[in-house]
Structure formats: structure tokens, C-alpha cells
Amino acid sequence: MICGIIGKGSIGIRHSIILKNLNIKFYFLRRKVNNKVKNEITFKNQLINKIDFFIISNPSSLHLKTIKKVIIYDKPILVEKPFVTQKKIPKFIKNYKKIFVLYQMRFDPRINFIKKNLDNKNLIKANFIWKTFLPSWHKYEDYRKSYAARKKLGGGAIFTMSHEIDIATYILGGIKEVFVKKYKNKLKTDVEENVRIFFKHVSGHNSTIILDFASKKKIRKFDFKIKNKIYFKWNFFEKKIKFKNKTKTFNFNNDDIYKKQLKNVILHIKQKKYKNSRIHLSKILHTQKILNSCAASMKKRKIIKII
């Protein structure tokens, strides 16, 4: 198989390394190529017709435009999260059967263990928190010029840190109401840096998510409370979860999750059973709707009903 990667930032490079480990050939598709780099081509190169699937990993605001550009080749398309930052998605894209959205946390073995073993009947509340410091993400660049810090590139905490929103829907199911409270910016960007999100799920459960990329505290964790007791504790930085009064350890690393994700998609591409993948677009559209609703709630300062 041959993959065409659009976007040669850190995530595009990560995908290329995994593809290489899977013995899959790849090209970076660029407007202008470096002739000294063998695996860079333009869309005018005839090699484009030999590509079996595309990975879109450029800035979020460009995803929709890029999808429209590559969909004409009638090949599977893997799009980095968030899927798009625009409110309206054309029907021909929604109905295209070969699109996947790369929410790799759905392949975290700890999260899937929780999803399988969670006692929904006795669940009281779920709390998610992700605090990080944007200037330390890529120390080689000015954070104010990064996509995460710029509204026109699709940045902001809600879209940039949308994994936690997707995890909440993946484990607890659909959401019917959302309210977002925005806090004062500290990094002087033109996007939301710190928000608290309140969800009401279709199941009747409530969850709260804190997303903050202006914090010097490094926290990424969530817990599920059942009858005033912590039933599950997940911490991104630990290879274990606390389950009831026990601790369960998992043998994996973050690269394994990315690799498992790509292997899953490639398998479903080969089998032509696209919708069977847990990250097929049809399974992510609700997350996309929630992201747009979060943005609307933050702007209008009111509860938004989804379902």
C-alpha cells in the first residue's frame, strides 16, 4: 500500500514513522517540494494515482478544503482530529463511506477497559481535566503562531483538545445538552484558552470537562464516581488505572496507540468494511456536533440542546 500525507508537521511526521514501521510506503504531498527529499511530491505528480489512502494532518481550518481536494480520487481518507472546524459539512462528505477521523484515544487499552466494565446504572458523575501549557508544546516555534493559538487556523481549547470530549461520548454515550464557561486568557491569544464544559448525556448522566492550555500545571486525568466513591481513575501519564480498590496495569506506550489506530483503519480498508472501525466518520459525527455546540454555547453564554 501507498499513503499520501498532507501536512508535514509533528503529527504528520509521527504518522510517517509508524507507516514506515508497518512497511507502508508514503509520500508527503506538498505545494512546493524539496528536490533533495525523495518522498515529497506535488498533486501534479503522476505518482498521486498510485496512492491507496490519504492522511490529512494539516491545520484544522484547512481540513474541509483538503478533503474536497482529495475526495475526487475515490480513496480512503484519514483526517486528524478535529474533523473540521466549520459548522456545515457538505452532504457528499458526510455520505462518503471511506472517511476516518483519527481520535486515537479510542484505542487506549485503559479507556476500553473502563468502557467495557463501567456500571452505568450506579454512575453519578464523570470528571475530566486536561491542563497543559501551550508554550511548551513545540519549543522550537513561537506558540502565538501555532495553529492552536490562532482562531483562523481552527485553534482554541475546545477543538485543539477535543480528545476529552470524544472520550466522554465514547464511554458515556450521546449528549443532549451542553454549557460552556470561558475563563480569562493568560497567553494573550485570540482563542479560548481555558474552559469548563458541562454535559448532560442521553443516558441521564452528567459529566464535566476542564480544558486549559494556559496552565503551568501538567494534568490529564478523569474519574467516574459511583455513590460518592471513585470507581475508576485514569491518568494519561500512568500505565495503570485504579479500579474499585484495585490497580490494573497495562503494557503499552503512546506510540502503540497510534500504531494500533492505523493498523485498525488499514485492516478495514483492506476488508472494505469501513463502517466497522470505531473511528469511522459515522461514529464521529456526534462528537463533531458537540464541538460546534460547545463553541456556540461559549459564544452565546447559554445552554445548547443537541438531541
Q: Which residues contact 245 (CB under 8 A, 6 or more apart)?
A: none
**pLDDT given for residue 217 in this prediction:** 93
Residue pair 213/129 in contact by the 8 Å Cβ criterion = no
Looking only at the bridges linking them, the beta strands covering 99-102 and 123-133 are unpaired
**pLDDT given for residue 247 in this prediction:** 94
Look at the alpha carbons of 81, 84, 85, 91 in this order and tell me if their dihedral is positive or negative. negative
**pLDDT given for residue 228 in this prediction:** 67
Nearest to 293 by CA among 165, 149, 193: 165
Is pLDDT at 69 greater than 70 in this prediction? yes
Residue pair 158/195 in contact by the 8 Å Cβ criterion = yes
Is pLDDT at 221 greater than 90 in this prediction? yes
Nearest to 51 by CA among 99, 12, 2, 98: 2
Phi, psi dihedrals of residue 57, rounded to the nearest 5°: -135, 30
- Domain range summary for the chain, segments of one domain joined by +: 2-103, 105-249+281-305
- CATH superfamily of the domain spanning 105-249+281-305: Dihydrodipicolinate Reductase; domain 2 (3.30.360.10)
Strand locations in 253-298 (E):
none
Distance of alpha carbon 241 from alpha carbon 235, whole angstroms: 7
**pLDDT given for residue 36 in this prediction:** 84
**pLDDT given for residue 201 in this prediction:** 95
Q: Strand order in 99-102's β-sheet?
A: 40-41, 25-29, 2-6, 53-56, 77-80, 99-102
**pLDDT given for residue 122 in this prediction:** 76
Q: Which residues contact 292 (CB under 8 A, 6 or more apart)?
A: 87
> Sorting pLDDT into bands at 50, 70 and 90, what band is 1?
very high
Is pLDDT at 289 greater than 90 in this prediction? yes
CA 23 to chain centre: 25
Strand locations in the chain (E):
2-6, 25-29, 40-41, 53-56, 77-80, 99-102, 123-133, 175-182, 194-201, 206-212, 214-226, 229-235, 240-243, 246-249, 304-305
* 204 vs 66, residue with greater confidence: 66
CA 14 to chain centre: 15
Side chain identity, residue 237: F
**pLDDT given for residue 283 in this prediction:** 97
Mean pLDDT of 101-118: 95
Nearest to 165 by CA among 228, 101, 93: 101
- CATH superfamily of the domain spanning 2-103: NAD(P)-binding Rossmann-like Domain (3.40.50.720)
Is pLDDT at 141 greater than 90 in this prediction? no
- The HSE-up count of residue 78 (CA atoms within 13 Å, CB side) is 29
127-141, 152-166, 219-233, 277-291, range with the lowest pLDDT: 219-233
Read off the pLDDT of residues 152-202 as tens digits, 9 standing for 90 and up.
988 999 999 999 999 999 999 999 999 999 999 999 999 999 999 999 999
Is pLDDT at 121 greater than 80 in this prediction? no
- Report whether the peptide linkage leading into residue 82 is cis, meaning its omega lies within 30 degrees of zero: yes
Q: Is 172 exposed, middle or buried (0-12, 13-18, 19+ CB in 10 A)?
A: buried
Distance of alpha carbon 102 from alpha carbon 79, whole angstroms: 6
Mean pLDDT of 126-143: 91
**pLDDT given for residue 114 in this prediction:** 93
SS3 assignment, position 256: helix
Residue pair 3/54 in contact by the 8 Å Cβ criterion = yes
Read off the pLDDT of residues 14-65 as tens digits, 9 standing for 90 and up.
999 999 999 999 999 999 988 888 899 999 999 999 999 999 999 999 999 9
Distance of alpha carbon 112 from alpha carbon 109, whole angstroms: 5
Read off the pLDDT of residues 224-280 as tens digits, 9 standing for 90 and up.
988 767 789 999 999 999 988 889 999 998 899 999 999 999 999 999 999 999 999
**pLDDT given for residue 120 in this prediction:** 73
